[in-house]
A and B are shown apart, each in its own frame.
Chain A
Amino acid sequence: MTEAADKSTMARRTDFRFWHFFERIALLVVWFVLIAVYGAAMPQSFLTWGNFAILFASYAPAAMLALAIIVPLTAGDYDLSVGATLTLCSAIIGVLNVWHHLPILLVLAVALAVGILAGLVNALFILFFRIPSLVVTLGTTSVMTGLAQWITNSSTIGGIDNALVMAVVGGRFLGVPYAFYYALGAAILMWYVFDYTPLGRRLLFVGRGREVARLNGIAVDRVRLGALIASGVLSAAAGILYAGVLGSADPYSGLNFLLPAFAAAFLGATTILPGRFNPWGVIVAVYFLATGITGLAMLGIPLWVTNVFNGGALILAVTVSQLTRGRDAIEIG
C-alpha cells in the first residue's frame, strides 16, 4: 500500500516536473512555432540567416533596454525613463561627436555618465522625497525627451564616428553583428549578479519584502539606489548601441523602444525562471516580440499593427506573469 502511495506521489512529482519544465520553455516553443508559421508563409524572404542577423542586431538596443528595466523592477521600482535616457544619450553622442568633434571614446564616457546622472535624479525623488517611482520616471521621461530635442534642434544628426558604427555593426560573429553580443554580454553579467551573488539575493528580497529586507540588515535604500543607477547606465549603453546601429542620433524614435522593452521584461518573467524577472527570459521575450513584428512587417501589414501588437503583448505578458505567480498581484511602487 505504501508502495502504491509512493508510486502515485512519484507520478505526481514527475508530472509536476514536466509541467514545470514546460512552463519554463513555453515561450521558446511559441517563438519557434511563430518562426515556423512565418517561414511557411514566406520561405524565401523570412527564413534566411541574413534576415535573422539583421533582426538580432537591430533589436539589440531594445534587449539592452529591457535588461535595464528589470534591475529596478526586481528591486520593486518602475523605471519608465529608460527610453528617454536611451534617446538623450544617443542625442548627446551625435551632438558632441558630430557637431563638437569630440573624440568618440570621451563622448561615450559622457553618455554613460549621463546615464548615471539620470539614475541619481530618479533616485533623489523616489528615495529621498518618497515620490512613487511611476510618477517620477514618467516626469523625467518627458524632461529628458525635451532636452534631447533641444540639444539636437529636433533634427537627426548623421555622421557619427565610423569607429562606433564598426564596433557595433561592422563586425560579425557567426553572421550576427556585434551589437547582439553586447546585449548578450549584459545578460550574462546580470545572470551572474542575479543568481550567483549575495547582491542578487538582496535585490530580490528588497523587491519582494522591503520590511523583511530591512529587518535582516539590508540597506534597502542603498540597494534601490544602486538598481536605479544600474538601469540608467544600461539604458545609456542601449543608447550607444542605438547610435551605432543607426550611425546617427535620432531625437524621436528612441521612445518607441519603451513599450516593447516593458512587454519583454514582463513576458520574460513568464519564462526560463517563471515568476521572476530574469535576463535570459528577457532576451527570449525581446526576440520573440521582434520576430512577431518583423514577420508582420514583411507580410506587408500596415504600421499601426506594430503598436497594437506591442501594447497587446504588454498586457498579455503581465497577465500571464501574474497567473504564473499564483495570481499575486505584482507589487511594484
Chain B
Amino acid sequence: MSTLSTPLNHVVSGPGAGKPLPVLHVTDIAKSFGGAKALAGISFEVLPGEVHGLLGKNGSGKSTLVRILAGFHAPDPGGKLKFNGKTVDLPLKAGDFRRLGMSFVHQNLGLVPSLTVLENLRFADLTTKPAPFINWRSERKAAIEALGRFDLAIDPDERVARLSPVERALLAIVRAFEEIRAECSATGKPGLVLLDEPTPFLPREGVEKLFTLMRSIASTGSSVIFISHDIEEVMAITDRITVLRDGLVAGELTTAGATHGQVVDLIVGRTLAKRATPAYAKPVDTGEPFIRVENLAGGSLCETSFAVGRGEILGLTGLIGSGYEEAPYLIFGARPGRSGILHLTADAKAVPIGRMSPDRALALDFALLPGDRQNASGVDSLSIADNMLLPDVTRFFRGGFLRPAAMMREAYALGERYEVRPNTPPAKLSTLSGGNAQKVLIARWMNRNPRLLLLDEPTQGVDVGTRVQIYAALKAAASSGTSVVCASSDVEQLAEICDRVLVFARGQICREITGPELTKDGIAEACYASLDASDETGSRAVTNWQ
C-alpha cells in the first residue's frame, strides 16, 4: 500500500502511517486508442473525507480516466482498481459505478430543464424503481430532506429552467450525492462524487457555494474528486492534488504546502527545447491590419479589441469558459453579439456587430469553419460536391440550368488540390473520414479566396497526417494574403501555425504572445497564469446560457 508510485521528484507528504483505507485506489491504469496512449499507466488514491483535485491540460488524460471510471472505456489490461479496499473487476460496465458508491457530475450537469427540481432530483429512482406507482408525497419529502441536508433553499416544485446556473450546479451535485447516499448507508462505507469541470461558467460567488457543498459532502466521510482547469479554485477547495501530464501522473501535492507556481510547473512541464525557427518564411504585411475588432462582446466574451494583419495567422486561446471560442462566430455574425464594431481597413468601412450576418460576412469575403462539424459545417447525407460548392452554387447556374458536370469537375479539382481521399465528389460526405471531411470544408472556403478565414478547433479529432495537410493549407492561404483567426485549445497547433496568439481569461484578452515565447509550453503556461492575472479585474465571464 505504501509503495504508491510517485513519479518525478514530487514527494507526497501524505497523512503518513496509519492512514485510512483509500476510497478509490487506481494502479497502473492505461488506455490507448489505436497507437496513441491517452493514459500511459497512472496510479493514485483518494482518501475518505477528502476533496481531491485532478488537474491537467487538454489531452493529459483526465477525461479518459473519467470515462474509464464511468464505464465508457475499457482500460488496457494490467491496471487495477480498488474501491474501499475491494478489488473491482475491470473493465467497468456502464452504470457499475453506482453500485460501487460512485457518482458523476459532468459539465453539462445532466439535468432536464423542462422538469421540476423534484423530478430531476428523484429521476434515477423514479424511473428505475420497480414500484407500481409513484408516491409523490414521499418523493417530495425525500427531495426536501436532500436539499435541506445541505441548507439549500431551492423550491422542489420549481422548473429547473428557472433556476440560476449556480442553483443548477448545486442541484446536480446534491443529486449525485443522493445517488450514492443509500448505497453508502447500506454498506457503511464512504462513497465518491466526481465533479468534472462544473465551474467554468459560474460566477465567482456561485463557486463559493459549490465549495461549501463539497465540504459538507466530505464531512460525511465520503470523498470528492474535483476536476477543473482553474488552479485557484482547486487550491482553494482541495486537500490534495494529482496532476496528470501526457497520460502520466506528473505529481501529487498536498494543497496546504503547495504554491501556484508549483502547480503550473507540474501541469505545463518544462521542456528545454525551445521552438525551432519556423521552417517557412512568409511576408507578414506590417502595414495596416486587415481588420480591427473593437469592443467585441457577446456570449461569455466581454468587450475585447484586437486587430488581424493581412496574411497573419492569429491564434485565440484560453481555458474553458474564457470565451475565446466565441470570437469567430461573433465576427461572422453567426451568433448575436452585444456590442462591437468591425473596422475593415482595406475597405475603409466600419460595420457594427449588430449588422453582421453570415450573408453579410460572405459578401465581405469572410469565411467561417465552425467547430461543430456534425451540425454546423457540412451535411453528411449530401454529396461531397454539393457540400464543397454550396456557397458558390450560383456560379454553376448558366442558361437557366445548373451544370452538374461542371460542378463535379470543379469539386474533383478541389479534392485533388486539398488531398481529399478518396476523391469522389458524387459520394456522400459521410463516406469520408473526419479529417477528409474537414479538408472538403476547408476547400469550400479556400476556393472563394476569403480575405478573413475564421476557424474554431479546425483539427479536433483529426489524425496527425491530415493535420499536417490542413496546417499547410492554412499557411498557404495566409501567404497569399488571407488573414486567419484560429480559435483553438490545442497549444501545440497554435505554436505550430500562429504568428501571434491572444490568451483569454474571463472573457477578456489577458496576454499577447509573440516571437520566441510562442511555444506550446509558453502558451499553456500563459493560459494557466491567465486566471491569476485577471483576478484583479474581478468579474468573471458573463454567460447567457439558457
Contact of B358 among A197, A201, A215 (CB under 8 A): A215
> Contacts of A204 on B, CB cut-off 8 Å?
382, 386
Given A198-B402, A216-B358, A217-B358, is A211 in contact with B390 using a C-beta cutoff of 8 Å? Answer: no
Main secondary structure of the interface of A (DSSP, over half): helix
The CA of A326 and the CA of B391, in the complex, are separated in Å by: 27
- The closest CB in chain A to the CB of B381 belongs to A208
| Most chain A C-beta atoms within 10 Å of own C-beta, residue among B334, B358, B359, B401 | B358
Given A214-B358, A216-B391, is A209 in contact with B402 using a C-beta cutoff of 8 Å? Answer: no
Tally B residues with Cβ within 8 Å of A.
28
| Most chain B C-beta atoms within 10 Å of own C-beta, residue among A195, A200, A201, A214 | A201
B394 at the interface (CB under 8 A from A): yes
A247 at the interface (CB under 8 A from B): no
B397 touches A197 (CB 8 A): yes
Given A198-B393, A215-B334, is A325 in contact with B381 using a C-beta cutoff of 8 Å? Answer: yes
B375 touches A275 (CB 8 A): no
Instruction: Mark each residue of chain B from 103 to 116: 1 if its CB lies under 8 Å from any CB of chain A, else 0.
Output: 00000000000000
Q: How far is the CB of A4 from chain B (nearest CB, A)?
A: 20
- The closest CB in chain A to the CB of B370 belongs to A215
A6 at the interface (CB under 8 A from B): no
| Most chain B C-beta atoms within 10 Å of own C-beta, residue among A201, A212, A214, A275 | A212
- The closest CB in chain A to the CB of B368 belongs to A215
> Contacts of A326 on B, CB cut-off 8 Å?
430
Given A198-B393, A204-B382, A219-B359, is A212 in contact with B377 using a C-beta cutoff of 8 Å? Answer: yes
Contact of B393 among A201, A212, A214 (CB under 8 A): A201
The CA of A195 and the CA of B379, in the complex, are separated in Å by: 17
The CA of A239 and the CA of B379, in the complex, are separated in Å by: 36
For chain A, residues 156 to 203, give those with C-beta under 8 angstroms from any C-beta of chain B: 195-198, 200-202
For chain B, residues 369 to 414, give those with C-beta under 8 angstroms from any C-beta of chain A: 370, 372, 375-379, 381-382, 386, 390-391, 393-394, 396-397, 400-402
> Contacts of B375 on A, CB cut-off 8 Å?
209, 211-212
A328 at the interface (CB under 8 A from B): yes
A205 at the interface (CB under 8 A from B): yes
B332 at the interface (CB under 8 A from A): yes
> Contacts of A209 on B, CB cut-off 8 Å?
375-376, 378-379, 382
> Contacts of A216 on B, CB cut-off 8 Å?
358, 362, 390-391
A212 touches B379 (CB 8 A): yes
Q: How far is the CB of A138 from chain B (nearest CB, A)?
A: 22
The CA of A214 and the CA of B375, in the complex, are separated in Å by: 11
For chain A, residues 198 to 236, give those with C-beta under 8 angstroms from any C-beta of chain B: 198, 200-202, 204-205, 208-209, 211-212, 214-217, 219
The CA of A284 and the CA of B382, in the complex, are separated in Å by: 23
> Contacts of B378 on A, CB cut-off 8 Å?
209, 212
The CA of A209 and the CA of B387, in the complex, are separated in Å by: 11
> Contacts of B430 on A, CB cut-off 8 Å?
326
Q: How far is the CB of A54 from chain B (nearest CB, A)?
A: 36
Contact of A215 among B376, B400, B401 (CB under 8 A): B376
- The closest CB in chain B to the CB of A210 belongs to B375
The CA of A217 and the CA of B397, in the complex, are separated in Å by: 17
A214 touches B334 (CB 8 A): yes
Q: How far is the CB of B535 from chain A (nearest CB, A)?
A: 36
Contact of B390 among A195, A196, A205, A219 (CB under 8 A): A205
The CA of A274 and the CA of B546, in the complex, are separated in Å by: 39
The CA of A39 and the CA of B396, in the complex, are separated in Å by: 47
> Contacts of A205 on B, CB cut-off 8 Å?
379, 382, 386, 390
- The closest CB in chain B to the CB of A192 belongs to B401
Q: How far is the CB of B533 from chain A (nearest CB, A)?
A: 34
- The closest CB in chain A to the CB of B382 belongs to A208
Instruction: Mark each residue of chain B from 317 to 332: 1 if its CB lies under 8 Å from any CB of chain A, else 0.
Output: 0000000000000001
The CA of A217 and the CA of B393, in the complex, are separated in Å by: 12
Q: How far is the CB of B337 from chain A (nearest CB, A)?
A: 16
A212 touches B402 (CB 8 A): no
Instruction: Mark each residue of chain A from 261 to 302: 1 if its CB lies under 8 Å from any CB of chain B, else 0.
Output: 000000000000001000000000000000000000000000
> Contacts of A214 on B, CB cut-off 8 Å?
334, 358
A197 touches B332 (CB 8 A): no
Q: How far is the CB of B425 from chain A (nearest CB, A)?
A: 14
> Contacts of B382 on A, CB cut-off 8 Å?
204-205, 208-209
Given A211-B375, A215-B368, A325-B381, is A195 in contact with B391 using a C-beta cutoff of 8 Å? Answer: no
A198 touches B376 (CB 8 A): no
The CA of A217 and the CA of B382, in the complex, are separated in Å by: 18
For chain B, residues 397 to 455, give those with C-beta under 8 angstroms from any C-beta of chain A: 397, 400-402, 430
- The closest CB in chain A to the CB of B389 belongs to A201
B379 touches A217 (CB 8 A): no
The CA of A205 and the CA of B372, in the complex, are separated in Å by: 16
> Contacts of B334 on A, CB cut-off 8 Å?
214-215
Q: How far is the CB of B40 from chain A (nearest CB, A)?
A: 38
Contact of A201 among B368, B372, B377, B386 (CB under 8 A): B386
> Contacts of A198 on B, CB cut-off 8 Å?
393-394, 396-397, 402
> Contacts of B402 on A, CB cut-off 8 Å?
195-198, 200-201
The CA of A180 and the CA of B178, in the complex, are separated in Å by: 67
> Contacts of B401 on A, CB cut-off 8 Å?
196-197
The CA of A215 and the CA of B377, in the complex, are separated in Å by: 8
> Contacts of A217 on B, CB cut-off 8 Å?
358-359, 361-363, 391
> Contacts of A202 on B, CB cut-off 8 Å?
393
> Contacts of A219 on B, CB cut-off 8 Å?
359
Given A198-B402, A201-B402, A217-B359, is A212 in contact with B376 using a C-beta cutoff of 8 Å? Answer: yes
The CA of A137 and the CA of B19, in the complex, are separated in Å by: 68
The CA of A205 and the CA of B393, in the complex, are separated in Å by: 12
> Contacts of B370 on A, CB cut-off 8 Å?
211, 215
The CA of A196 and the CA of B363, in the complex, are separated in Å by: 24
- The closest CB in chain B to the CB of A275 belongs to B381
The CA of A195 and the CA of B393, in the complex, are separated in Å by: 12
For chain B, residues 331 to 381, give those with C-beta under 8 angstroms from any C-beta of chain A: 332, 334, 358-359, 361-363, 368, 370, 372, 375-379, 381
- The closest CB in chain B to the CB of A211 belongs to B376
Given A196-B401, A325-B381, is A215 in contact with B332 using a C-beta cutoff of 8 Å? Answer: yes
Q: How far is the CB of A318 from chain B (nearest CB, A)?
A: 16
> Contacts of B390 on A, CB cut-off 8 Å?
201, 205, 212, 216
What 20 additional pairs, Cβ within 8 angstroms, besides A214-B334, A216-B391? Answer: A195-B402, A196-B402, A197-B402, A200-B402, A201-B390, A201-B393, A204-B382, A205-B382, A205-B390, A208-B382, A211-B370, A211-B376, A212-B376, A212-B378, A215-B332, A215-B358, A215-B368, A216-B358, A217-B359, A217-B362
Would you mind naming 28 contact pairs between A and B with Cβ atoms under 8 Å apart? A195-B402, A197-B397, A197-B402, A198-B394, A198-B402, A201-B390, A202-B393, A204-B386, A209-B375, A209-B379, A209-B382, A211-B370, A211-B372, A211-B376, A212-B377, A214-B334, A214-B358, A215-B334, A215-B358, A215-B370, A215-B377, A216-B358, A216-B362, A216-B390, A217-B358, A217-B359, A217-B363, A275-B381
User: Which A residues form the contact surface with B (CB < 8 A)?
Assistant: 195-198, 200-202, 204-205, 208-209, 211-212, 214-217, 219, 275, 325-326, 328
Closest 10 CB pairs of A and B: A209-B379, A217-B362, A217-B359, A208-B379, A211-B376, A198-B393, A196-B401, A196-B402, A198-B394, A201-B393
